Every structure is written in C-alpha cells, then in structure tokens.
C-alpha cells in the first residue's frame, strides 16, 4: 500500500511517500504499526487530533477499514483558500 | 464548470471576463479572489503552498458540484495555485453565476468555506525568522456549520 | 473608494484588476456584477435605466460609506450604468477588499441590497409587446431588514 | 421650488421637472395641491404607497416639512442594481 505524507507530517517523517507492507485492518492499526517503527514516526503521529487522513484520495477517519485501499495519506488540517 | 489547480499566476480580470462572457443567462456574477497577505507585518518573504496532486482536483470538483446541487447556478469556476507565492500574489479565485444574487453570493461563500478546510492545500510562511506552517483556524472549521 | 455613474459600458476584468492592484493589504476581494437578463424569455429588446443625476452619486457614496463604517474594508468600488442596455450587457458592479473574507462578502451583499432599493435608479423593459417599468420586489425591501 | 418626477410618475405627469410656487408646509400638503390641479396629477399621485419622495436629494417621507427645501422629487420605489 502507498502511504503519503504532506506538510509537517512529511517533514517530520522525512519523506513524501513510501510503500508499506501491512495487514492492518484499520487506519488506527496502521498508525500503531508506523509509530512502533522509529522515533520520527512516533513524533509525526503523537497527536492524532492534529492529523487528517485520506483513503484513496477521499477524506476519511482513523476508524475506517483499510480493506481494498491502495493509497493512504496523512496530513495536518488543510489550509486552502 | 472549470476547476484549475496550477502553479502559474492567473489573470483575475481575464478570468472574470471569460467567466461572465460564457454565461449569458445569469443576472448575477460573484467573484472571490484570495491574495497573499503579509501577516507578519512586513517580513513575509514567500508563501509556499503544497497540495495533494490527484486528490486536489477531485476535492475541488466535489465541492463545486455540491454547490451546483444546492443552489441554482449557471456556472462555477475555481482556480487555486500551489508553489511559491509572494505577498500581493493572487492565490485563488472562485466565480459563481446565477439568476439571483442571493444564490451567487451564497454559493461563492460556500465554495470558500469548503476550500479553506476541505481541499488538500497546506500553506507555509517563510520570514526572516524561519518557516512555519500556517495553522488551521477554529473559525474556518466553524464556518462549515452554517451550511 | 470610487463611485461611478455612467452611460458607457465598463470592462469588468479591467475594473477588477485595477481594484485588486490598488489594494495590496487586503487578503480578500469580492466582486458582484449585474447583467441584463432576458426576463421575458427571448423577447427583451432593450432595458432603459433612468436615474436622478445629483442624487444618485450622493446616494451611492452614502451606501458605500455606511459599508466602510460597518466592516473593516480596504477599499470599495461602485459602478452603475444608466441609459439603454441590451440583454447580456453589464449594468453595474461593486467590489470590496478586506483582510477577512467574511467582511468582503458581507459588505458586498450589503452594497447590493441597498443599491437595489435605495439608489435612485428605475428600470424599464422594452419588449415586442411594449414597454413596462420594472416593479420593485418585496423581497428586495425585506433584504434590508437583515442589516 | 423645483419639483422633479421620475419613471412612470414623470410619464403620467408628462414632464420631468417644473417650478412650483407653493406655501405648502409638508410634502403631503404639496401633493394635495398638485392633485387638485389636473387629472394627470391626480393619476400620478393616486396611490401614495406606490411613491417615494426625496427632499434636496435625500430620501424623506410624506410627513416631512418643506421649510428651506429647494428641490422635491417624486418617483416610484427604486429598482437599481
């Protein structure tokens, strides 16, 4: 599965995109796996209330299932306009 | 309906004229243009706008289609830039055309409220003191509640 | 602040660009443009707009100054035509510049609501069947109550 | 005093402007004088609720005093914008 990071999430983790092999059932499960990897992931995911997630380019939430999902993106609240 | 996500500057006047010329049945045309402000009192050097290619166009089209479903609109235009911008540069614009001014105004405000908090753009301000990501504002999130 | 009451057409795009260029401190620019609609389904030949020279400019300046007193605005523009117009012609425009989009939108709507019912213009529609003065609408009068 | 007429008021009365010698104290008094003149004035002023008045180019009302006023204008509700 492709995992994308934007804005300060990208900066903290240090890359914009990576391929992740996972059997995580939900977004929260994936976040837990990533946090366990390295301190930079732990730092990026420390406060989930400051993060948003999109599944296959649609806004979603951390309880959502990853079944069939090909692309997960993590980023801070958007500041367009 | 035209949705453009682009790095290049756009010409507000040319876009407004083209939009108005393309919609002859509407009596009311509203445009909103966002300009890079120097928030940090004179020392903003550059604003960088990051976006999520692929998702951005979809998110903007979804917001525009929701506006078209909700109000009686002749046409909708959304242009949003990404990349490096300087103070005074135009970031984005929306335009709405409708028979009645109320529809044109409300739809433009709706588009702006959703663009602010639901389109995948992130702004970073670079000043003499360093660079900082612009924080989302509670009032922008609250603005969605009225729709 | 610029108030123009004129017979000549105006260029929406050129006016919007000039307005935006003149106000570099504002982050938000709203324009509203009114276009002659063919109300009578295809047979409106011409719209004639009569006004009250002398009073018109004063009434528009008063409305614009009230908007400036009420919202935090960088600048305000009002252009209103009189004379003979054809379907598709642009009748009038307003533009507002402000730090925050809410102020720019509200002030533009306020200007429009007052222009509709408190500026001395009268519209007459000429069709194949004859000429008729456009009646004022209760909802335009009601729109003033929200301010 | 200059009296001006606009839109269908002008059309019914048949002129855009005239000089009126009057000692009317209020707008209503002036209207009463004008109505007594000729049927075309009677026709124009038949329904005051359909009329608006400006005194020296400021919107006013039919109860207003004419003291010091140089220009009175009668017209239907405005339809700008």
pLDDT tens column, C30-81: 999 999 986 656 677 899 999 999 999 999 999 999 999 999 999 999 999 9
Q: B73 vs chain A: nearest CA distance in angstroms?
A: 21
> Are B34 and C28 in contact (CB < 8 Å)?
yes
Q: Does residue B23 carry a pLDDT above 80?
A: no
> The tokens of C7 are what?
């017979």
Q: How far apart are CA D77 and CA D81, in angstroms?
A: 13
Who among B26, B35, B109 is closest to C29 (CB)? B35
Chain C residue numbers with beta carbons less than 8 Å from the beta carbon of B104 are 32
Question: What's the distance, CA B36 to chain centroid?
Answer: 12
Beta strands in chain B (DSSP E): 2-6, 28-35, 44-51, 73-81, 83-85, 90-98, 121-127, 130-133
Q: Is the dihedral of CA C95, C96, C101, C102 positive or negative?
A: negative
> Are C26 and B16 in contact (CB < 8 Å)?
no
Query: What pLDDT, on a 0 to 100 scale, did the predictor assign at position B7?
Result: 98
Neighbours of C, requiring at least 3 CB pairs below 8 Å, are B, D
> Are C27 and B35 in contact (CB < 8 Å)?
yes
Q: A77 vs chain B: nearest CA distance in angstroms?
A: 6
Instruction: Map out the domains of chain C with their CATH numbers.
Output: 2-145 (3.90.1170.40)
Query: What pLDDT, on a 0 to 100 scale, did the predictor assign at position B38?
Result: 67
ipTM value: 0.94
> Are D73 and C55 in contact (CB < 8 Å)?
yes
Q: How far apart are CA C137 and CA D77, in angstroms?
A: 9
Instruction: Map out the domains of chain D with their CATH numbers.
Output: 2-75 (3.10.20.30)
> CA dist B78 to B37, B54, B95, C87, D72, Å?
20, 16, 7, 26, 48
Q: Does residue B42 carry a pLDDT above 70?
A: no
Per-residue model confidence as pLDDT tens digits over A32-47 = 999 999 999 999 999 9
Chain C residue numbers with beta carbons less than 8 Å from the beta carbon of B17 are 11-13
Neighbours of B, requiring at least 3 CB pairs below 8 Å, are A, C
Give the mean model confidence (pLDDT) for residues D55-80: 98
C103 interfaces chain B, CB cutoff of 8 Å:
no
Q: Between B24 and C57, where is the model more confident? A: C57
Q: What percent of chain C has pLDDT over 70?
A: 96
> Are B112 and C101 in contact (CB < 8 Å)?
yes
C79 interfaces chain B, CB cutoff of 8 Å:
no
Q: Taking CA atoms, what residue in D is nearest to C141?
A: D77
Q: How far apart are CA B50 and CA B68, in angstroms?
A: 27
Chain A residue numbers with beta carbons less than 8 Å from the beta carbon of B123 are 79
Query: What pLDDT, on a 0 to 100 scale, did the predictor assign at position C22?
Result: 85
Q: Does residue B40 carry a pLDDT above 60?
A: no
pLDDT band at B19 (very low <50, low <70, confident <90, very high): very high
Average model confidence (pLDDT) for chain C? 94
Give the mean model confidence (pLDDT) for residues D49-69: 97
Who among B12, B87, B101 is closest to C16 (CB)? B12
Average model confidence (pLDDT) for chain B? 94
């Amino acid at each position: 599965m492709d995992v994308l990071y934007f804005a300060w999430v990208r900066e903290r983790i240090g890359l914009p995109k990576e391929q992740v092999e996972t059997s995580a059932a939900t977004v929260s499960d994936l976040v837990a796996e990533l946090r366990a990897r390295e301190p930079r992931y732990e730092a990026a995911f420390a406060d989930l209330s400051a993060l948003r997630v999109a599944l296959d380019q649609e806004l979603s939430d951390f309880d959502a299932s990853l079944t069939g999902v090909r692309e997960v993106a993590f980023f801070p609240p958007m500041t367009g306009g | 309906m035209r949705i453009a996500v682009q790095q290049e500057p756009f010409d507000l006047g040319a876009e407004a004229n083209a939009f108005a010329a393309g919609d002859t049945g509407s009596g009311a045309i509203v445009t909103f243009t966002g300009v890079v402000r120097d928030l940090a009192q004179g020392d903003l050097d550059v604003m960088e706008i990051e976006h999520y290619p692929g998702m951005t166009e979809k998110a903007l089209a979804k917001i525009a289609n929701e506006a078209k479903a909700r109000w009686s609109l002749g046409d909708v235009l959304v242009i949003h830039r990404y990349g490096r911008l300087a103070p005074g540069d135009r970031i984005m614009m929306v335009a709405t055309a409708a028979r009645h001014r109320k529809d044109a105004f409300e739809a433009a405000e709706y588009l702006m409220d959703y663009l602010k908090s639901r389109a995948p753009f992130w702004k970073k301000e670079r000043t003499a003191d360093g660079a900082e990501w612009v924080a989302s504002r509670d009032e922008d999130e609250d603005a969605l509640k009225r729709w």
